Each structure stands twice: as C-alpha cells, then as structure tokens.
Structure 1
Amino acid sequence: MLFRRGRTMLVLVAVFWLWLLLGSANFIAGLFDTPFYAMLALYGLGVVTLISLGVAGMAIFYMVVNKPARTELPAGSSARPGFSELAPVIRLVPRRVADHSAALTNKAAAKWRDLAS
C-alpha cells in the first residue's frame, strides 16, 4: 500500500513539473495585469517547486523501502502472484479464535440435529 502511495505521489509531482515546464507561463502571463498577483504567483510557484523536490525524494524513498516482494510461481500455474484461496482477513484470525468458532459451529449443528430428531 505504501509503495502505491509513493508511486502516486511521484506521478503527481511529475504532472506538476510537466505543467510547470509547459503550461505555467500562460498562467503567470495572465496575471501581469496586476503586479501584486503576478508576484504572489511567482512566489507561490517557487515555494511549491522547492517542496515538490522534497516530496519526490520521499516518494522515491517510500517506493524503495516498500518494494513489493515477487513470488515465483511453479511452472504451469495460472494463479496470480499473491493470490490465495483465503481472504487476508481470514488468514489474520488467530488459531485459537478460529478453533473456538469451529467448535461453536459444531455445537450448533449438533443442537439442531438433536432438535430435528
């Protein structure tokens, strides 16, 4: 999950830089009617540009640290990597809780069999 967040932030920073390089000139040129707004826009873009460098660095760091593990599949296997028959939530249930719930299910089934007979 953190890898995907890092990748998303890196894509957003790249989109910002593309806009900065290709489209921000028209934006700033439109503000030159009032010098205050033009100065404010230039200052804001300068600050956001510097912040975007830090954000890009952190996004790359998150992607490197949280790199997803690759699992090797046996030959002829059609399953997707990381796919399991059990949902992740079921796998996280402690064994004693799972055993206890199975015991309750067996008790309930036995009770219904007794009532039905």
Structure 2
Amino acid sequence: MKNVADKVTRFSSELVDAAATEGERENRSARQQLEHWARVGREVSNQRHVARRRVEAALTGRVPLSELSAEEGVVFNAEISVALEESLATGNHVADRAAQGRATIALDEQGRVVKHLPDGTQILL
C-alpha cells in the first residue's frame, strides 16, 4: 500500500465542534470522528442498490416519502438536512425571494423578527 501524506482540509468550526463532542462519546478524536463520518457518508453515497435508487427517487419527488422504509427515510432525512445546511450557508435567500417578488420573514443579527419586502424595505415585527 502506498504511503500517502495527509492533506490539509478546512472544515467549519461547527462541524469540528460537533465531531469533538461525538468523538468524545465514541472514544475518538475530532479528526477520527470526521474521518469516520466521511467514510460512512462515502459508503452511503456509493450504495447503488434498490434502496439508494429509491431514496434518490424520493429526493426528486418521483417516489412518495410514505413508500420509503425506515432505513431509507433516515438516509432521505440526512440528505435533506445536508442540502439545507449547504443552501443556508451559501445562499442569499432574502435577495433570491425579493427577485421573485416575495417577502421573507427572518431573524436579524439581534435576534429580532423582521419582514423583508421585495422593494428592499424592512419591517420589524
């Protein structure tokens, strides 16, 4: 087996903190926990049997969620959770909705509920 040097990879502090917490419960370092999660995720992603295809079909709306098994539901929920986290981290949903002519209600930096109107004005609720 070829000896491959570790590569530097950046993770969000939230993910590293979660890995440290979970790793402590599992007697792993944060790095070991991240590697474990990555391997598990890789295996789930690599599955190309019927169950994985059914989850993918449910993600695209071709199979009703009610038809998924409990195990398929777990994978479905994990995929949705990751997609939402990625979308929230990278998107500007207020601007996207304003471009569609839609208002958005969100929390501001002070934790107050604010309604963002499509014209750019804000109303504190």
Normalised TM-score (structure 1): 0.27
More strand as a share of residues: 2
Normalised TM-score (structure 2): 0.26
More helix as a share of residues: 1
